[in-house]
Amino acid sequence: MAASDLDAQANITGSSKEDDATYDAIVVGAGASGIGVGITLQHVGIENFLIIDRDTVGASFAAWPAETRFITPSFPSNSIGMLDLNSIAIGVSPAYNMRVEHPTGAEYATHLQNLVKYFELPIQEKTNVTSIEKHDDLFAIETENGVIHAKNVVWSAGEYQYPSLSGFSGAELCRHTATVDSYSQLEGDNFLIIGGYESGIDAAYHLAKNDKKVSVFDMEGPWESESSDPSVALSTYSFERMRHEKFEENVSLHAHSIVTLVNQVNDTYQVITGDGQTFTSEVQPLFAGGFDGSHKFVSHLFNTRDDGFPEINENDESTIMPGMYLAGPSVRHDGHIFCFIFKYRQRFAIVAKSIAESLGLETEDFVAAYKSWGMYLDDLSCCGQECLIC
């Protein structure tokens, strides 16, 4: 389906522009979430919105290590009404556009840039948001280029640019995998990787293929998990790569191995685990332990859940600050984790509908169109812990 077909299905009446200096909505972040939300805002009929990004469209993806690829496969399944797993919008298939099953970050960044051109989305790049406050009914979004006012804000600044280097003593001595440009450029022969979920296994695979010896430590051991939920267990793509002969030859996996301390003694790094073992290397240990996430930046605008994520209502809107929305991998409802594109994309239209209705726009046809594509997940009761796609 082309974008124009969807426009015909949706009731596009256009939003008011009574005050050009005030936007109906500002979307912060032009990654997969921000661009996806932007397309749904456009489809529901909101015209007076802007997507802003501190860098460029798809900047986080462009910053992935050169060798890293999507673990979720792309397939041009749209023709039978099943959206490509890596698509962020109805009618879009990265597989069809790029002819690649597991895109690199750089390829996906280009894909997002192409979507911006195709949908003619309003974008302002190189605009770093430094603070957001709400005065009366308007948000003041302070950026390094001035203040922008909006009735609604969608926070979609992601996680990748906010890596975490904590959890044990000496964590700051490690190098986060999000800062690696290319595994082939890392010097040394013996690598210690803390964290054995997707990023840690990805790093181990690329290093092992370059004949490096690698030890991976994980407090649990996702490669042993029996869960079917890819938010918890490793992906099929990773299991496949773990069977590569170089991985089997060069990588040792340490499950249930809690790193308690990282030390540097002269030119040698020591990784010490809870059971008293010490592992050494002259190479700075790699930390693949996740991200603090950008939601910490706007924590004053949300209540915080027990797990540290923002508390949101059924519209993914702050429970304490009406008009402040969250989109992307930080979205959590009860025990449901929306950390992959195929999960969190199903909430874009929920946000768009809520904003549209606050502006007095009709949303019935829009919701029907999105529901028919599995892009409107409003009933989580059908979703068990294991699976969020009903």
Tokens matching residue 120:
């003619």
Give one word for 276, left, alpha or beta, with left for phi > 0 and alpha for psi -120 to 50. Answer: left
Specify the residue, 206 or 279, whose C-beta has the smaller distance to ligand FAD.
Answer: 206
Between CA 153 and CA 32 the distance in angstroms is 17
End-to-end CA distance of the chain: 22
Minimum separation from the CB atom of position 45 to ligand FAD (A): 23
Specify the residue, 37 or 359, whose C-beta has the smaller distance to ligand FAD.
Answer: 37
- Out of 43, 54, 111, 347, the only residue in the binding site for ligand FAD (CB under 6 A) is 54
Binding-residue pattern over the window 115 to 134 for ligand FAD, x denoting contact by CB under 6 A = -------------xx-----
Specify the residue, 71 or 301, whose C-beta has the smaller distance to ligand FAD.
Answer: 71
Q: Does 183 bind ligand FAD (CB under 6 A)?
A: no
H or E stretch including 35?
Answer: helix 32-44
Q: 24 to 43, contacts with ligand FAD by CB under 6 A? A: 28-34
| Helix 364-372 vs helix 348-358: crossing angle, to nearest 10 | 180
Q: Does 55 bind ligand FAD (CB under 6 A)?
A: yes
- The amino acid present at 236, given as its one-letter code, is T
Q: Does 182 bind ligand FAD (CB under 6 A)?
A: no
Q: Does 230 bind ligand FAD (CB under 6 A)?
A: no
- Which residue reads 């921000």 in tokens? 34
Specify the residue, 60 or 215, whose C-beta has the smaller distance to ligand FAD.
Answer: 60
Residues constituting the chain: 390
Minimum separation from the CB atom of position 69 to ligand FAD (A): 7
Give the E-state strand segments of 291-360 in sequence order. Answer: 324-326, 332-333, 336-337
Dihedral sign from CA coordinates of 70, 202, 334, 358 = negative
Binding-residue pattern over the window 294 to 333 for ligand FAD, x denoting contact by CB under 6 A = x---------------------------------xx----
Minimum separation from the CB atom of position 238 to ligand FAD (A): 10
Write phi, then psi, for 267 (nearest 5 degrees). Answer: -95, 10
Considering only CA atoms, which of 154, 132, 150 is closest in space to residue 141?
132
The site for ligand FAD (CB under 6 A) is made up of 28-34, 52-55, 59-61, 64, 68, 70-72, 128-129, 156-158, 160-161, 198-199, 294, 328-329, 340-341
